[in-house]
């Protein structure tokens, strides 16, 4: 256990210090667990969740095609056309980013919506900083709403055996989707307050021309087939992964047929975030290693003791510790570590783990909105602004991010306990 804990701590430190090399660090760490026989190689492959990895890869491929089709830009244009002034335009774009982000990656959402906000700011000669921040934190918030909204949601689905519909309704109760939406509504009221003085009229622009509607059909098909799969009793464990990969394959074939160039496939494949997929693969084995060594059990018992045996206190610790940690640490390795811990805590204390799962997801997903480095969507938004000549200070970001986060988290924290608490 001591050796496993040392490797795990060093791995986490290196992940924090060298974020550009996280995938390689996780894979080397996974190799060490196997080399030192902390986790036998036959068991190591058992901890790899191929369903989650295939879901992420397949969804990413479909999303790349969806963005390339220009459909998101057209939707943004239609929204802008219906807004009376800058305040409504910014808030509407933030809301739209949230809706889109509930079904595709947060970073991809920011890359799609941010250029629209930049265009508005340039025409009106105003700073785009507040609007880009609003779009980034809104997309990050909604990532927890559905099974395919974020990597952490897909990880939760795999760990808790949850299907697409379980995020909406489960065990006769409302799911995390509705809880996130209530939090989003409360946080959106804050955005109206922040932008209350932006009353300049928005100039209408020509609509973006959509190149193809096939990627939109494929993205909707991902959602529809995941829903249908949830009704199949005794379905294979890799069903969701096969669905996402198959639809991506259809999209790649369509791309090749329309361009008549085999090389066009590489332009799509190279946009898939294999870095994150490799990071997750390594982390699955690392977490398997510390689980086999008993580290996960010890961590869960420590948290249980800190909570003084009270499920509510344990839930509170997990939510707010997740918020604080995720404000500075990438939430993927954190959630990968904490999912088995929350399962162990629930088993150890004898209550349903879902209240802890949802608390973990809300705290870890929304906590990233506290700081400019807390989430990939935030870093992406700031990077876009930097290219435009705008340097965003931590104070400037947190002026919007902190109250937005606290509003959404407090709302979710209360609702999860009221609905799912024991």
Under 8 Å between Cβ of 139 and 365: no
Q: Apex CA 291: angle with CA 289 and CA 296, to 5°?
A: 130
Report domain extents, the chain.
2-420
**pLDDT per residue over 286-322, tens digit each?**
888 888 888 877 888 888 888 887 899 999 999 999 8
Say which range, 257-261, 325-329, 394-398, has the weakest mean pLDDT: 325-329
Residue 422: pLDDT band by 50, 70, 90 thresholds? low
Strand ranges (E), 180-251: none
CA gap 255, 248 in Å, rounded: 10
CA gap 339, 347 in Å, rounded: 13
**pLDDT per residue over 350-382, tens digit each?**
888 999 999 999 998 888 888 887 777 888 888
Q: Can you give the length of the chain in residues?
A: 422
The closest of 162, 44, 167, 30 to 103, measured between CA atoms, is 167
Tokens read off for 85: 């002034």
Residue 104: pLDDT band by 50, 70, 90 thresholds? confident
Under 8 Å between Cβ of 363 and 322: yes
pTM exceeds cut of 0.85: no
Up-side HSE of residue 352: CA atoms within 13 Å toward CB? 12
Element (H, E) at 249: helix 239-259
Q: What is the CA radius of gyration of the chain?
A: 21
More confident residue, 182 or 85: 182
Cβ neighbors of 296 (< 8 A, separation 6 or more) are 287, 290, 340, 341, 344
């Amino acid at each position: 256990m001591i050796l496993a804990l040392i490797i795990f701590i060093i791995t986490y430190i290196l992940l924090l210090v060298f974020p550009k090399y996280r995938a390689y660090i996780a894979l080397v760490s996974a190799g060490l667990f196997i080399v030192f026989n902390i986790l036998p190689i036959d068991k190591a492959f058992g901890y790899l969740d191929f369903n989650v990895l295939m879901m992420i890869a397949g969804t990413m491929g479909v999303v790349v095609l969806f963005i390339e089709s220009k459909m998101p830009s057209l939707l943004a244009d239609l929204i802008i056309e219906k807004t009376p002034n800058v305040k409504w335009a910014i808030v509407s774009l933030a809301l739209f980013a949230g809706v889109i982000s509930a079904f595709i990656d947060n970073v991809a959402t920011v890359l799609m919506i941010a250029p629209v906000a930049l265009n508005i700011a340039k025409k009106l000669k105003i700073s785009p900083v507040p609007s880009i921040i609003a779009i980034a934190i809104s997309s990050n918030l909604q990532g927890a709403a559905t099974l395919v909204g974020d990597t952490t949601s897909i990880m939760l689905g795999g760990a808790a055996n949850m299907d697409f519909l379980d995020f909406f309704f489960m065990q006769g109760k409302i799911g995390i989707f509705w809880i996130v939406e209530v939090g989003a509504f409360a946080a959106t009221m804050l955005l109206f307050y922040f932008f209350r003085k932006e009353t300049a009229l928005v100039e209408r622009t020509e609509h973006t021309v959509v190149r193809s509607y096939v990627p939109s059909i494929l993205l909707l098909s991902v959602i529809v087939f995941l829903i249908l799969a949830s009704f199949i009793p005794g379905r294979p464990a890799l069903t969701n992964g096969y669905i996402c990969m198959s639809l991506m394959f259809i999209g790649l074939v369509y791309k090749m047929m329309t361009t008549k160039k085999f090389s066009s496939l590489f332009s799509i494949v190279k946009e898939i975030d294999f870095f994150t997929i490799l990071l997750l693969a390594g982390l699955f084995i690392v977490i398997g290693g510390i689980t086999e060594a008993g580290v996960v059990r010890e961590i869960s018992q420590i948290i249980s003791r800190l909570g003084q045996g009270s499920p509510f206190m344990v839930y509170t610790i997990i939510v707010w510790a997740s918020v604080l940690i995720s404000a500075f640490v990438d939430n993927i390795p954190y959630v990968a570590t904490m999912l088995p811990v929350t399962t162990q805590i629930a088993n150890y204390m004898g209550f349903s783990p879902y209240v802890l799962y949802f608390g973990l997801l809300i705290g870890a997903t929304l906590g990233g909105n506290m700081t400019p480095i807390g989430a990939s969507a935030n870093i992406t938004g700031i990077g876009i602004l930097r290219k435009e000549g705008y340097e965003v200070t931590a104070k400037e970001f947190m002026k919007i991010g902190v109250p937005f986060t606290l509003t959404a988290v407090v709302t979710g924290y209360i609702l999860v306990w009221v609905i799912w608490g024991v």
